[in-house]
A and B are shown apart, each in its own frame.
Chain A
Amino acid sequence: MRRYKKTIIGSSLLLIILLMSCLYPLYGPADFNQKVLIHDENGRVIDRAPFPPSEEHWLGTTRNGEDVHWVLLYGVKFTLIAAFSVAVLRVIFGGIVGIIISLWAPFLKRYFKDFFLTMRYIPSILIAIILMIPIKFPDDVAISSIVTYQLIILVFIGFPSVTVFAADITDELLKTSFVQSSYLMGAGNFHIIKRQLLPYMRSYGILFTVQQILSTLQIIMQLSIFELFLGGANRAGIFGYDDPYGRPKLASMSYEWAGLIGQNFTEFTQMPWIVFAPLLGFFVLILIINMIKKELENNILGVQLMKTKRKRKKEKPLPAAQTHTGKFDFLHD
């Protein structure tokens, strides 16, 4: 039978993290316990940020003296919301276009694939970088427009593959006997969508969304290595960072996890906690989502397996005993 135990546990975990992050202003310190210098009793400076993990600072502090665990808790909502909304938009647009292509214009599928052929041969990270360059040097624009631009690009990158997938699956479903007989009895395309495809679309839609969340998380993280942060970059740079060439190092404006990884990835020789804390957090997020994905995949595939098993049972050959044609049978042998 279908079981959704892991899905329920995983999504409630994600929801709890999201809620905690959204409600952060209610309970967390607004300045993330910022403390750059430590003085002794006489008022002399004995140490300066960043501090390594300790009892006081659970995951250490950033160069700016902010507690890493508070920063992470504050920033995770942007990561989750962005990944989720990008995935949902990809699946909605891709799914609709895919179904339209498959039902009304099957000849278009070839041309659609040709048009987006580039995306099949160039790793998506390269395309994403080329398309994201305008946001690296913005001239005083609102964050909302930067974020909108980024979301559009992220949705666009995943759109062709989702569309082709959706069209393929719809093609497969159209070949099944129940859809064929529905057509024979005079059903129109809309009726087919409503009655026959919708139940499948729900399960496949959820599975696609989860897969797309994973790929979005990956690409956000890879983009951040190239200083293309979700939510724009803070041009003042990281506090107290000395570049040998005197350039300010761009910092993520939103404290979003991928951005935290990207802005600090050069620092891990001296302060590994600043990079490894968000990186491991990201890993945990991906693990949870992957767990959900596995279970959903098993459910969809498992149902098909069960059906074939049932069929096989019916096709069992008749027991040999019935084929006796002799005049008498031995009852006990």
Chain B
Amino acid sequence: MKRLLSALFRSALVLSGFLFIFNLPLILGIGVDSVEIHFDQFWEVVKNNLQFLFQIKDDMYLSLFKQLDITGSYQYTMSILLISLTGIILIAMVTMVLIMIAPEKIRIYLKNGVNFFEAVPDLLIIFLFQFFVISLYKATGFKFLRLYGVFGVKPYFIPIITVSFLPLFLLLQFLIQVITEEQNQLYVLYVKAKGIGRLRTLLIHMIRNILPLIVLQLRTVIWVLLSNIYLVEHMFNINGFTKQFVIIIYQGGDFASLVACLLMLSLPLLVIEAAGWLVSKRIKGTEAVSL
């Protein structure tokens, strides 16, 4: 009973936080020469929003949402997300192994190179890719890389590469850091003393041990990917899910559509968070057993 009450209370809190955040512009009205604060209007709108959310029988409910091409665009955006995510994980793993088995001197340079990309703003990367593709087109006259999403075309290759460029380095940096820490563990020393090679230790023992940490880190990667996809779809004018989102925001879509869109957008994060929760529970369980 107590748990149920607290769960109810907390979900009410989440809902009120949501309403508060998205109606904040109503509290802060922009006056002629100062920012005015009015709560009454805010309260009215919040009440309206709440009523609207629970009025499912209404015909107007999700009207704009139903008009838009939601499934197609959502499929597109999510497939970009998934492809980039798998690509990032694979490439980051392979590169990490390559860096770790490289000679010491080269390894330091490579690590510094990876660290450099931490500071690069995402827009710079998007611009550079755009510039690269267009100058390639100008130089060769061939249009083999689709960039813009005009006339309903949905390009895959360039958006995926653009979107996953920076998250790749983010994950790679994390992997290198984690594996360097893992090298100080006693079992690595023991395995080395037993005469097992470095590559075998790395591939079989260490990677298996850092897998849970990678799952936890994937949340950040997905987060960055989502905001990158949003930027890229806007800048390349691709008719993806985020485009529908913009339409809903600017054309005064109802509150329920906004909520539905946001939920759909944060679905991957929820999934990966659930995975992370399971993994961390399992680790804690095994630790308790080993103690």
Chain A residues near B (Cβ < 8 Å)? 110-111, 114-119, 121-127, 129-131, 133-135, 138, 140-142, 144-146, 148-149, 152-153, 156, 217-218, 221-222, 225-226, 261, 265, 268-269, 272, 275-276, 279-280, 282-283, 286-287, 290
Let me know if B247 is at the binding interface, CB within 8 A.
no
- The smallest C-beta distance from A2 to any residue of chain B, in angstroms, reads 21
Let me know if B123 is at the binding interface, CB within 8 A.
yes
In the bound complex, CA of A142 to CA of B36 (Å)? 13
The reply to whether A225 and B17 contact each other, CB–CB distance below 8 Å, is no
In the bound complex, CA of A153 to CA of B30 (Å)? 12
- The smallest C-beta distance from B185 to any residue of chain A, in angstroms, reads 16
Complex partner residue of A131 from B14, B18, B24, B32, CB under 8 angstroms: B24
The reply to whether A141 and B119 contact each other, CB–CB distance below 8 Å, is no
In the bound complex, CA of A201 to CA of B94 (Å)? 41
In the bound complex, CA of A287 to CA of B119 (Å)? 6
Task: Please name the residue on chain A nearest to B134 by beta carbon.
Answer: A269
Query: Which residues on B sit within 8 Å (CB–CB) of A133?
Result: 25, 249-250
In the bound complex, CA of A283 to CA of B117 (Å)? 11
The 0/1 profile, CB within 8 Å of A marked 1, for residues 96-137 of chain B is 000000000000000000000011111110010011001000
Query: Which residues on B sit within 8 Å (CB–CB) of A265?
Result: 127, 235
Contacts A/B (CB < 8 Å), 8 sampled: A115-B13, A131-B25, A140-B32, A152-B35, A222-B123, A222-B227, A279-B121, A290-B119
The 0/1 profile, CB within 8 Å of A marked 1, for residues 256-290 of chain B is 00000010011001100000000000000000000
The reply to whether A226 and B234 contact each other, CB–CB distance below 8 Å, is yes
Where chain A touches its partner, the secondary structure class is helix
Task: Please name the residue on chain B nearest to A262 by beta carbon.
Answer: B123
- The smallest C-beta distance from A110 to any residue of chain B, in angstroms, reads 8
In the bound complex, CA of A129 to CA of B122 (Å)? 17
The reply to whether A145 and B131 contact each other, CB–CB distance below 8 Å, is no
In the bound complex, CA of A159 to CA of B233 (Å)? 28
Given known A-B contacts A218-B121, A221-B123, A114 and B14 have beta carbons under 8 A apart: yes
The reply to whether B235 and A114 contact each other, CB–CB distance below 8 Å, is no
Q: Which of A115, A141, A280 has the most CB of B within 10 A?
A: A115
Query: Which residues on A sit within 8 Å (CB–CB) of B203?
Result: none
The reply to whether B25 and A125 contact each other, CB–CB distance below 8 Å, is no
Where chain B touches its partner, the secondary structure class is helix
- The smallest C-beta distance from A234 to any residue of chain B, in angstroms, reads 17
Let me know if B38 is at the binding interface, CB within 8 A.
no
Q: Apart from A117-B18, A145-B30, A283-B124, what 5 extra A-B contacts exist at CB < 8 Å?
A: A116-B17, A118-B21, A123-B226, A141-B31, A290-B118
The reply to whether B28 and A111 contact each other, CB–CB distance below 8 Å, is no
The 0/1 profile, CB within 8 Å of A marked 1, for residues 1-45 of chain B is 000000000100110111011101100101111110000000000
The 0/1 profile, CB within 8 Å of A marked 1, for residues 226-238 of chain B is 1100110011000
Query: Which residues on A sit within 8 Å (CB–CB) of B235?
Result: 225, 265
- The smallest C-beta distance from B204 to any residue of chain A, in angstroms, reads 30
In the bound complex, CA of A272 to CA of B21 (Å)? 38
Complex partner residue of B24 from A153, A221, A287, CB under 8 angstroms: A153
Task: Please name the residue on chain B nearest to A146 by beta carbon.
Answer: B30
Q: Which of A117, A121, A142, A283 has the most CB of B within 10 A?
A: A121
Task: Please name the residue on chain A nearest to B6 by beta carbon.
Answer: A110
Let me know if B157 is at the binding interface, CB within 8 A.
no
In the bound complex, CA of A111 to CA of B119 (Å)? 34
In the bound complex, CA of A282 to CA of B28 (Å)? 30
Query: Which residues on B sit within 8 Å (CB–CB) of A141?
Result: 30-33
The reply to whether B14 and A118 contact each other, CB–CB distance below 8 Å, is yes
The reply to whether A149 and B266 contact each other, CB–CB distance below 8 Å, is no
Given known A-B contacts A131-B25, A265-B235, A126 and B230 have beta carbons under 8 A apart: yes
Query: Which residues on B sit within 8 Å (CB–CB) of A153?
Result: 24, 28
In the bound complex, CA of A122 to CA of B121 (Å)? 20
Query: Which residues on B sit within 8 Å (CB–CB) of A148?
Result: 34-35
The reply to whether B17 and A138 contact each other, CB–CB distance below 8 Å, is no
Let me know if B65 is at the binding interface, CB within 8 A.
no
Task: Please name the residue on chain B nearest to A219 by beta carbon.
Answer: B227
The reply to whether B17 and A115 contact each other, CB–CB distance below 8 Å, is yes
Task: Please name the residue on chain B nearest to A156 by beta carbon.
Answer: B24
The reply to whether B227 and A124 contact each other, CB–CB distance below 8 Å, is yes
Given known A-B contacts A115-B16, A269-B134, A145 and B25 have beta carbons under 8 A apart: no
Q: Which of B10, B21, B130, B223 has the most CB of A within 10 A?
A: B21
Query: Which residues on A sit within 8 Å (CB–CB) of B169?
Result: none
Task: Please name the residue on chain A nearest to B10 by beta carbon.
Answer: A114
The reply to whether B35 and A221 contact each other, CB–CB distance below 8 Å, is no
In the bound complex, CA of A280 to CA of B127 (Å)? 11
The reply to whether B120 and A144 contact each other, CB–CB distance below 8 Å, is no
